[in-house]
């Protein structure tokens, strides 16, 4: 039996589509699987050029936001960019500080400490900024639920411009402007921009007004990192933003990114979206998880080679520490949920769960058991937690349903964070467990694996891989194409990695031989049979300066 639910996507209904468009049948199938059914959609998707970029004037409250920032620039006011402590918030903060400074603005960054301050706009921080002479605060990747905090700022005569992409509450904060494409009254055509993406659109609107829009070109790297790091769908405008950002990172990376790449053995010229999600973003996030996110901000902004090297080395060490801590805490959380018995909602709670990696651990639990998972750090008076979910359960909607129990919360359908009085914790757990039980009743709680096409291994020879790359960048919303091949001969199979976590395979079909690797599939070694049906992606194995195509095995089952 397979470990996933295999879902072979339906074939293109119009057999002549590929012929009419001059595309191979495989590319036509991949485009169709991504919801591109009209011929007019295909070429803009493949080229991913400026035609995908939305008009910033369509964003809600963009005009009052631009007017207020112009006023601050012209009168020499002190401006603070208040960003979140994750990679999306850090890059968006760096973008606005850099962009407004080039326009002559007197701008400082403010990124709260994850543990001592927590997520979002905080009254104490706003009061401190006001005392320092700040008269305008622009939020990045936070603020959409900060009703009380904005009211306090208004009483201080401290103006707030909110830029955020998280789900709004029914009531919008009473700020000078609230720029969020997910607002119910938004006319913006693409609601899936991230915090860095919206910061970029705000800067674009400012630059358009003075005829300097070209200044945005050197900042696409920051938008690309924030977009990929926050797991935004790489469709629509995000395709353009990430493609342009990767182009910049591969040709002329900023000093800090060059040092991160050097520490991680990445080569400029070969970066793709996976390089961001697996290598660059985790290192930028490591600072905020274990110390303070300002270190990552400084690395992105520095012009000093010596400082860049020192900060990158420190981040590399912090990321290694984060990996060790995550593995340790994950083992403990897994033990706890197994002891409680596997239920529709997994909860691991205790006083010693580190806040900085709670989301990572919740994500690992949700992935392994395919259930929504909460990891909560309990305190004497206040507790805080992170939740990660599966497509069948909207975690932010569930938290909204019990918002009366919470002090703060926010996020998306698949990822959320919250704080609440510890006395309310049993009620929260009971409510969410009941919601999960009702909504997931009868569901097959195995992850679903969408398969683009059934092919034979000889079908993938020649220029197939390079042709597929026309659809990149790949990520959420535009996943790397996934294939199914049946009755593949297994020539050799062995485990590799620490603790025999992974599988290394040699495969053969129709006279062609391939190498394959199955990450985290080492525990299934005993299920390998002489012939398998395999589900996989094509990828380049870069080892010791050499490049070779291989199969990235996602799942398998005995043939026949």
Domains defined for the chain, CATH in brackets? 56-314 (3.90.1640.30), 342-439 (3.10.310.30), 449-560 (2.40.50.460)
Q: How many CA atoms within 13 Å lie on the side-chain side of 489?
A: 8
Q: Is residue 434 over pLDDT 70?
A: yes
pLDDT at 545: 67
Beta strands in 164-304 (DSSP E): 177-179
pLDDT tens profile 506-550: 999 998 999 999 998 999 999 999 999 999 999 988 776 677 899
Angle at 476 between CA 440 and CA 96, to 5 degrees: 120
Q: What is the pLDDT of residues 293-314, one digit of tens each?
A: 999 999 999 999 999 999 999 9
Cα dihedral 419, 422, 427, 430 in deg (nearest 10): 80
Hey, is 166 helix, strand or coil?
coil
Reported as a pLDDT band with limits 50, 70 and 90, residue 182 is very high
The CA angle 92-96-99, to the nearest 5 degrees, is 135
- Contact at 8 Å (CB) between 91 and 301? no
What is the model's pLDDT at position 3? 83
More confident residue, 14 or 285: 285
In 156-254, where does DSSP find H-type helix? 195-209, 220-229, 237-251
pLDDT at res. 544: 65
Q: pLDDT band for position 169 (50/70/90)?
A: confident
Q: How many CB atoms lie within 10 A of CB 160?
A: 26
pLDDT (0 to 100) of residue 487: 96
Q: What is the pLDDT of residues 441-491, one digit of tens each?
A: 988 888 889 999 999 999 988 888 988 998 999 998 899 999 999 999 999
**What residue has token string 């589900």?**
535
Q: What gap in Å lies between CA 537 and CA 112, rounded to an integer?
A: 39
pLDDT given for residue 210 in this prediction: 92
How far is residue 349's CA from residue 374's CA, in Å, rounded to a whole number? 8
CB of 139 closer than 8 Å to CB of 111: no
pLDDT at residue 268, rounded to an integer: 84
As a whole number of angstroms, the longest Cα–Cα distance in the chain is 76
- Whether residue 423 has pLDDT greater than 70: yes
Average confidence score pLDDT of the chain: 93
Render pLDDT for 548-559 as a digit per residue (tens, 0 to 9): 899 999 999 999
pLDDT of residue 124: 96
- Check whether 60 has a pLDDT greater than 70: yes
Task: Tell me what pLDDT residue 150 has.
Answer: 97
Q: How far is CA 492 from CA 488, 498, 505, 530, 541, in A?
A: 12, 20, 6, 9, 18
Stated pTM of the model: 0.90
Give me the mean pLDDT over the 288-293 stretch.
93
Q: Average pLDDT of 338-358?
A: 94
Give pLDDT tens digits for 100-153. 999 999 999 999 998 888 889 999 999 999 999 999 999 999 999 999 999 999
The answer on pLDDT for 163 being more than 90 is yes
Q: Which residue has the tokens 């039980």?
A: 437
pLDDT band at 497 (very low <50, low <70, confident <90, very high): confident
Say whether pLDDT at 99 is over 90. yes
Q: Please provide residue 176's backbone torsions phi and psi, each rounded to the nearest 5 degrees.
A: -60, -40
Alpha-carbon distances of 548 from 19, 462, 465, 488, 514, rounded to whole Å? 31, 13, 11, 20, 10
Which segment, 113-127, 193-207, 493-507, is predicted with the most confidence on average?
A: 193-207
């Amino acid at each position: 039996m397979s470990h996933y639910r295999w879902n072979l996507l339906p074939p293109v209904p119009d057999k002549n589509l590929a012929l009419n468009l001059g595309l191979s049948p495989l590319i036509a199938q991949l485009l169709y699987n991504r919801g591109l059914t009209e011929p007019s959609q295909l070429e803009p998707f493949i080229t991913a050029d400026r035609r995908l970029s939305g008009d910033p004037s369509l964003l809600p409250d963009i005009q009052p936001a631009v007017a207020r920032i112009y006023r601050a620039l012209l009168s020499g006011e002190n401006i603070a960019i208040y960003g979140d402590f994750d990679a999306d918030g850090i890059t968006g903060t760096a973008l606005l500080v850099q962009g407004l400074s080039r326009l002559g603005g007197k701008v400082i960054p403010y990124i709260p400490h994850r543990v001592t301050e927590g997520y979002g706009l905080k009254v104490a921080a706003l009061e401190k900024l006001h005392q320092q002479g700040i008269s305008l605060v622009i939020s990045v990747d936070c603020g959409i639920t900060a009703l009380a905090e904005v009211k306090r700022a208004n009483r201080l005569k401290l103006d707030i411009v909110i830029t955020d992409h998280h789900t709004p509450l029914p009531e919008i904060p009473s700020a000078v402007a609230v720029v969020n494409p997910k607002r119910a009254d938004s006319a913006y055509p693409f609601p899936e921009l991230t915090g860095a993406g919206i910061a970029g659109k705000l800067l674009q609107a400012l630059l358009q007004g003075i005829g300097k829009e070209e200044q945005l070109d050197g900042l696409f790297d920051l938008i690309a990192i924030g977009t990929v790091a926050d797991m935004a769908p790489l469709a629509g405008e995000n395709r353009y933003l990430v493609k342009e950002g990767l182009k910049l990172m591969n040709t002329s990376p900023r000093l800090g990114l060059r040092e991160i790449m050097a520490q991680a053995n990445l080569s400029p010229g070969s970066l793709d979206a996976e390089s961001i999600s697996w290598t660059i973003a985790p290192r930028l996030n490591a600072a905020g998880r274990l110390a303070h996110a300002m270190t990552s901000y400084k690395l992105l902004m520095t012009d000093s080679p010596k400082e860049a090297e020192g900060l990158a080395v420190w981040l590399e060490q912090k990321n290694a520490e984060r990996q060790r801590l995550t593995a340790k805490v994950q083992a403990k959380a897994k033990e706890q949920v197994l002891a409680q018995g596997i239920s529709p909602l997994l909860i691991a709670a205790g006083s010693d769960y580190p806040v900085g990696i709670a989301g990572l651990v919740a994500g690992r639990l949700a992935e392994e058991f395919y259930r929504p998972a909460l990891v909560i750090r309990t305190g004497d008076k206040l507790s805080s937690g992170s939740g990660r979910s599966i497509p069948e359960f909207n975690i932010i909607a569930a938290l909204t349903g019990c918002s009366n129990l919470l002090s703060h919360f926010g996020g998306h359908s698949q990822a959320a964070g919250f704080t609440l009085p510890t006395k309310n914790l049993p009620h929260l757990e009971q409510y969410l467990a009941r919601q999960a039980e009702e909504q997931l009743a009868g569901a097959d709680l195995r992850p679903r694996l969408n398969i683009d096409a059934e092919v034979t291994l000889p079908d993938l020879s020649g220029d197939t891989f390079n042709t597929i790359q026309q659809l990149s960048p790949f990520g959420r919303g535009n996943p790397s194409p996934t294939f199914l091949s049946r009755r593949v001969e297994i020539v050799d199979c062995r485990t590799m990695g620490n603790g025999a976590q992974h599988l290394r395979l040699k495969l053969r079909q129709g006279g062609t031989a391939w190498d394959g690797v199955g990450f985290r599939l080492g525990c299934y070694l005993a299920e390998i049979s002489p012939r398998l049906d395999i589900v996989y992606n094509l990828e380049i194995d870069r080892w010791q300066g050499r490049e070779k195509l291989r199969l990235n095995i996602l799942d398998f089952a005995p043939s026949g």
